[in-house]
Structures are given as C-alpha cells and as structure tokens.
C-alpha cells in the first residue's frame, strides 16, 4: 500500500478473515522488520486476523533518505493508513514493540486513530511524551530519583551514539553494531544492515524534540504494557509509570529480554489475546484483574494455593491473602477445618475452591494441580504449608515414624513444587512459591532430629529452587516460624514413651505454645511481606530470628545448646 507521502509500505495478512474474527495489527521496532512477529503471529492466527507491516525504512517497505520522513506524525499517519486499508469498518487491536510501540503511542494519544482502536498492547517502547515527563519528574533531588535516572541513562547509551554523524552507519556496515546487540540480547538474531542504517533516522528525527518538550497526551482505550524484566535498553519504570495518562491500564512485568516477542512468543500472544478478548466483550480474566493498575488490594486478582489450610498457619495465611483481594484454592485432609477456613475467606470476599488432597501422595498432588490449572488457571502463589510434628530422640524414632514425617514434611513440599513450578515457568509471567520450614531448620535439637531434618531439607530445597527459577521471575521463600500458637502440638507424635505419657507431653506442649501467645496471623503477615519483597528466608517469631542470626555467627553455641533435653 502507499502512505500519504507516497512511500510504499509492505503489508502482510494471515489468519482468519475479517468477517469472523478481530483484526490485530502488529508494529515492529528498530532494527527489526515485520519478521519480528512471526512467532507471535503463529500463536494468534487461529483466533484472529493478524496484520504485519514493515515500517518505512525497514524490510520490504521503501526507505526514504530524509530525516523528516521519519517523524512521529508521519509514522502515525502510516499506521492509520494501514488500519484504514485492512479494516475500514471495524476497530482493530494494536500490538507493538520498541519503536513500533513508540509510534503507536503517538498515534493512540493523538488524533490519527481516534475511534479506530479497541485495545493496545505495548512492549519495550514508551510514549516519548510520557518518557519526557517521566525524566523531568526525576529531576527533583532525591537519592532514589538520582539512582533511577542513572540506571536508565546507562540503559540508553546508544541513543547519543546514534546521533553521531557517519559513525553509527559505519558500525552497522562493518558488523560491529550487530555483534554488540547480539551480546546484549542473544534473542536478536541479527538485523539486516539496511534496516539498521535507515532506522537511525527514527532517533535523529524524534528524540530531541519529543523528550525536550513533552506534550500532555493520554488515551481512554484499554492499554496493556508488557515490560521484560531483563530489558537491556528500556527500564521497567520508564515504560510502566504512566497511570496518569492511561485510565484503563494493565502492567505485566514478564521474564525475558528486550526481544521477548522472539524468545517467548507464546507469552506475548497469550497476554495480548486476554486483552483483545476482553475488549471484544469477553470476561475480564484473572490475569487482567491481577495486572490492573490501581486495583484494590495488595493481591487483587491473584490465585493462591494453600495446602494444610484447615487450621493454624495455613488458615491464617489463607485469610490474610483473602483480606488483600486474592482468590483461594484450599487443601486439607480435614474437611471440616478446610470448610471453616473457606467460610471465613468467603466472608472476606474471596472466591474459594476446596480440595481434599494428601500432600504426601505425589500422584494425587499432580492430579490436583492439573485440575486447578484446567478449571481455574495457573496459580500465582503456591504455599506448601501442610506438615506434622514429631518429637523424640533419634534412637527412639522408628523407621515408620521417619517415613511418615519425611513423606508429609519433605515429600509434600517436593510434590507441591514439582506439580506447580513447571506450570509457572510455562505461563511465563513469574509467580511465587512459599515453603513452610521452621526455626528447627537452623536450630539443632537432640529431641527433634526427624522434624528438624525435614525442615532443614525444606529450607535447602527452597534456596536451591530459588536459584533455579530466578531467571523466570519466580520467587521462592522459606518461612521459618518458631513457637507459634497452633494445634500442631495436639497431633504431634512423641516417640519412645507410653501412650499416657505421650498425651501428657502433648498437654504440656500445648500449654507452652498457648502461653507463648504468638499467633499464626503474625506468621501470615510475615509470609505476605516475604512474597511482596521476594525474601529468600523469612524467620518469624523473635526466637526464630535470633536463632537464624546465631546459626550464622555462633553455630557452636547452638550446637552446645542442642545437647540439652529440650523438645516439643
């Protein structure tokens, strides 16, 4: 097709027909061409009509030589011409990356596409007007503002370089620029030299004028920003702190690098499809609720799985999440306790699903996780809390007792992590796994060898899994409470004593825990804080925090104390 100034634009269409499916127009950035969207388009074409075009200066489109031919007003006019050509009678949905997103922002916040756009998903490309205002806001002196400004300046080194005469062109023609970009982001498979050279005019024609004199430009259409956490060129704050200009805004910080559309096309396609379907009249998905800017509740729209939710820390955790807007999936082998937790959560406004699952049964846990995924979606947070207590010396602890406590306290956590972690990775939007360990994990005791062993294993497992999943933006936290007022002592197994003596020990332990007065709701508060701040190891209760410090500074002192006969 021919643009308003006579430049020829190469436009390609794939997927369903305009008569029976929404139209999605994809706009690439620099130094790419329309092939950037090949993977995403393949994911979308069964459901939508997908339109991809090479912007002027790239791919098979004409490559004007004059700098003024690359100004944002002309680029927005190009986009409007494409929209009018491919969908003259219906609104379209926009999906744009990098400079494609920059020019699309200019179009949707100006008059070029007024009344023609149903939704917009932006990746790694802020409005230059918004970016200019954002930079100005950082000029107010404060250490945080200065740090943010310097961070983005380091990410934007190339902008000044691209304004130099001749040298950037030489860097492209010699292959140096291609190698530099490949080092910074291996997902970029090697841009064409012509695309790199001609696209330099995008920077030279627009950066100074737009950033120096930003306009007040907003939009009413639904907007979704996908911000790759590992973007080497555009920082997350610059592209996401735009709520004052966009009334209907969602922000998803996703694992990946600048060219996430190439490396994780299914993540981009799924996120875009959720917004498209909602804009077309479909229900607002949990993902859209979770990422809505300004949503009420710290965990609004989050789906949280809590095992062992029938009492104690599990119940308190479930209710804490419910109180902050989350929906819940509760499991417990005690149906009455679980039902009571569900009732209390329902009173707080949470949507609750209940399951009876033995956490020590791997097949049952995997079947449960699959059912949650298929009926409710992939959870955002998984709390592996189910556990049992056991007290008594190593020599008095039989093989069956060892097997039982390992099955529940350790295998229960392993099963939960193995069932849900792959789902979180595949979804590609991060998440969090919380494993309940104990202060016993770093506090040896001659009377808690079996219990402490399992909790130490849970702590180590959590730290190993945290390292493995970090690049997927999936946090893993181990919560290590000390003496907490729960009913764990009422069901704790005391080995090496008679039945009557076991009952007596349970009563004494229950009284001690009750007098301690540290309720499970305080542990739950620490847990929520650990999820928000992505804390690796979160001790809860004063004695747990003290023990953690001593375990690192004076482990010999703890080993000496362990020789004393102190147990549950």
Residue 539 CA to residue 140 CA, distance in Å, equals: 38
Domain of 218? 11-291
Q: How confident is the model over 514-538, as a mean pLDDT?
A: 92
Residues 369 and 390 in one domain: yes
Question: What's the pLDDT at 48?
Answer: 98
Let me know if residue 1 belongs to a domain: no
Let me know if residue 17 belongs to a domain: yes
Answer whether 353's CB lies under 8 Å from 338's CB: no
Residues 310 and 273 in one domain: no
Residues 313 and 279 in one domain: no
Residue 280 CA to residue 509 CA, distance in Å, equals: 59
Residue 218 CA to residue 221 CA, distance in Å, equals: 9
| Backbone φ, ψ for residue 433 (5° rounding) | -120, 130
CATH number reported for the structural domain that contains residue 22 in this entry = 3.40.50.1820
Whether pLDDT at 501 is above 80: no
Let me know if residue 5 belongs to a domain: no
Let me know if residue 296 belongs to a domain: no
What's the pLDDT band for 139 if we cut at 50, 70, 90?
confident
Final residue before a domain boundary, out of 259, 291, 323: 291
User: At a CB cut-off of 8 Å and minimum separation 6, what does 562 contact?
Assistant: 443, 444, 445, 446
Residues 276 and 226 in one domain: yes
Residues 109 and 236 in one domain: yes
pLDDT tens string 187-215: 887 789 999 999 999 999 999 887 777 88
**Alpha helices of 71-185 — where are they, by DSSP H?**
72-86, 99-109, 128-137, 143-155, 157-162, 167-173, 176-184
Among 128-142, 361-375, 378-392, 505-519, which is the least confidently predicted range? 505-519
Q: How confident is the model over 551-566, as a mean pLDDT?
A: 83
Answer whether 201's CB lies under 8 Å from 99's CB: no
Q: How confident is the model over 556-563, as a mean pLDDT?
A: 86
Whether pLDDT at 567 is above 60: no
Closest CA to 195 of 26, 1, 29: 29
Let me know if residue 169 belongs to a domain: yes
Final residue before a domain boundary, out of 268, 291, 314: 291
Whether pLDDT at 514 is above 70: no
Residues 348 and 280 in one domain: no
Question: What's the pLDDT at 566?
Answer: 52
Residue 565 CA to residue 359 CA, distance in Å, equals: 31
- The SS3 of residue 233 is coil
Final residue before a domain boundary, out of 250, 270, 291: 291
Closest CA to 375 of 329, 311, 320, 438: 329
Among 196-210, 392-406, 494-508, which is the least confidently predicted range? 494-508
pLDDT tens string 96-105: 999 999 999 9
pLDDT tens string 163-187: 999 999 999 999 999 999 988 898 8
Rounded to a whole number of angstroms, the distance between the first and last alpha carbons of the chain is 78
pLDDT tens string 225-234: 999 999 999 9
Residues 261 and 397 in one domain: no
Q: How confident is the model over 365-383, as a mean pLDDT?
A: 98
Among 48-52, 239-243, 486-490, which is the least confidently predicted range? 486-490
Residues 368 and 250 in one domain: no
Residues 239 and 336 in one domain: no
CATH number reported for the structural domain that contains residue 347 in this entry = 3.40.50.720
Answer whether 33's CB lies under 8 Å from 83's CB: no
- Which residue among the candidates 30, 70, 355, 451 is catalytic per the annotation? 451
Among 108-122, 333-347, 438-452, 493-507, which is the least confidently predicted range? 493-507
Share of the chain above pLDDT 70, in %: 96
- In terms of Cβ atoms closer than 10 Å to its own Cβ (0-12, 13-18, 19+), residue 169 is middle
DSSP 189-214: ----HHHHHHHHHHHHHHHHHHHHS-
Whether pLDDT at 489 is above 70: no
DSSP state, residue 535: -
Let me know if residue 25 belongs to a domain: yes
User: At a CB cut-off of 8 Å and minimum separation 6, what does 386 contact?
Assistant: 307, 308, 314, 331, 332, 359, 408, 412
Let me know if residue 6 belongs to a domain: no
Question: What's the pLDDT at 492?
Answer: 79
Residues 319 and 380 in one domain: yes
- Helices (runs of H) and strands (runs of E) counted in the chain: 24, 16
Q: Is 203 a catalytic residue?
A: no
Residues 285 and 308 in one domain: no
CA 16 to chain centre: 31
User: At a CB cut-off of 8 Å and minimum separation 6, what does 206 contact?
Assistant: 70, 71, 72, 102, 128
Residues 35 and 82 in one domain: yes
| Backbone φ, ψ for residue 214 (5° rounding) | -70, 140
- The SS3 of residue 509 is helix
Count up the domains in the chain and report the number.
2
* Pairing of the two strands 92-97 and 23-27: parallel
Cα distances (Å, whole numbers) of residue 511 to 388, 393, 504: 18, 22, 11
Let me know if residue 484 belongs to a domain: yes
Question: What's the pLDDT at 568?
Answer: 43
Exposure string of 38-68, with b = 16+ CB inside 10 Å and e = fewer, is ebbbebbbebbbbbbbbbbbbbebbbbeeee
């Amino acid at each position: 097709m021919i643009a308003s100034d006579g430049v020829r634009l190469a436009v390609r269409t794939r997927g369903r027909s305009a008569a029976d499916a929404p139209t999605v127009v994809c706009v690439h950035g620099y130094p790419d061409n329309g092939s950037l969207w090949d993977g995403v388009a393949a994911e979308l074409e069964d459901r939508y009509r997908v339109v991809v075009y090479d912007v002027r200066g790239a791919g098979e489109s004409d490559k004007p030589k004059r700098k003024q031919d690359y100004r944002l007003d002309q680029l927005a006019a190009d986009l409007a011409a494409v929209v009018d050509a491919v969908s003259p009678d219906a609104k379209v949905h926009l999906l744009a990356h990098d400079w494609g997103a920059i020019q699309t922002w200019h179009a949707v916040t100006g008059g070029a596409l007024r009344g023609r756009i149903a939704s917009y998903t932006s990746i790694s490309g802020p409005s230059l007007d918004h970016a200019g205002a954002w930079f100005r806001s950082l000029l107010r002196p404060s250490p945080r503002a200065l740090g943010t400004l310097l961070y983005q300046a380091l990410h934007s080194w190339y902008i000044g370089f691209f304004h130099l005469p001749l040298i950037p062109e030489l860097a492209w023609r010699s292959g140096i620029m291609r190698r530099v970009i490949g080092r910074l982001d291996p997902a970029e498979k090697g841009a064409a030299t012509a695309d790199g050279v001609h696209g330099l005019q995008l920077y030279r024609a627009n950066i100074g004028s737009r950033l120096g004199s930003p306009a007040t430009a907003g939009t009413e259409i639904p907007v979704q920003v996908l911000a790759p956490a590992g973007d080497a060129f555009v920082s997350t704050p610059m592209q996401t702190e735009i709520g004052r200009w966009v009334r209907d805004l969602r922000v998803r910080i996703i694992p990946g690098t600048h060219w996430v559309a190439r490396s994780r096309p299914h993540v981009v396609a799924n996120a875009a499809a959720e917004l498209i379907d909602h804009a077309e009249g479909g229900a607002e998905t949990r993902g859209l609720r979770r990422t809505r800017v300004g949503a009420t509740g710290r965990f609004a729209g989050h789906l949280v799985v809590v095992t062992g939710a029938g009492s104690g820390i599990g119940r308190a955790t479930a209710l804490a999440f419910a109180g902050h807007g989350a929906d819940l999936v509760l499991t417990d082998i005690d149906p009455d306790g679980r039902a009571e937790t569900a009732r209390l959560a329902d009173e707080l406004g949470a949507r609750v699903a209940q399951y009876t699952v033995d956490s020590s049964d791997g097949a049952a846990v995997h079947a449960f996780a699959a059912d949650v995924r298929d009926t409710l979606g992939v959870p955002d947070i998984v709390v592996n809390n189910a556990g049992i207590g056991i007290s008594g010396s190593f020599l008095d602890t039989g093989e069956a007792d060892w097997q039982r406590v390992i099955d529940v306290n350790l295998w229960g956590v392993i099963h939960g992590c193995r069932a849900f972690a792959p789902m979180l990775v595949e979804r590609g939007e991060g998440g969090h796994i919380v494993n309940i360990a104990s202060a016993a994990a770093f506090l040896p005791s001659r009377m808690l060898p079996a219990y402490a062993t399992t909790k130490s294993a849970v702590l180590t497992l959590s730290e190993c899994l945290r390292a493995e999943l970090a690049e997927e933006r999936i946090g893993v936290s181990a919560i290590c409470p000390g003496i907490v007022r729960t009913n764990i002592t009422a069901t704790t197994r005391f080995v090496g004593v008679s039945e009557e003596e076991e009952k007596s020990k349970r009563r004494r332990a229950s009284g001690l825990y009750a007098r301690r007065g540290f309720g499970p709701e305080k542990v739950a508060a620490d847990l929520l804080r650990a999820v928000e701040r992505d804390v690796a190891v979160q001790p809860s209760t004063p004695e747990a925090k003290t023990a953690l410090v001593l375990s690192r500074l004076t482990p010999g002192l703890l080993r000496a104390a362990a020789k004393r006969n102190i147990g549950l």
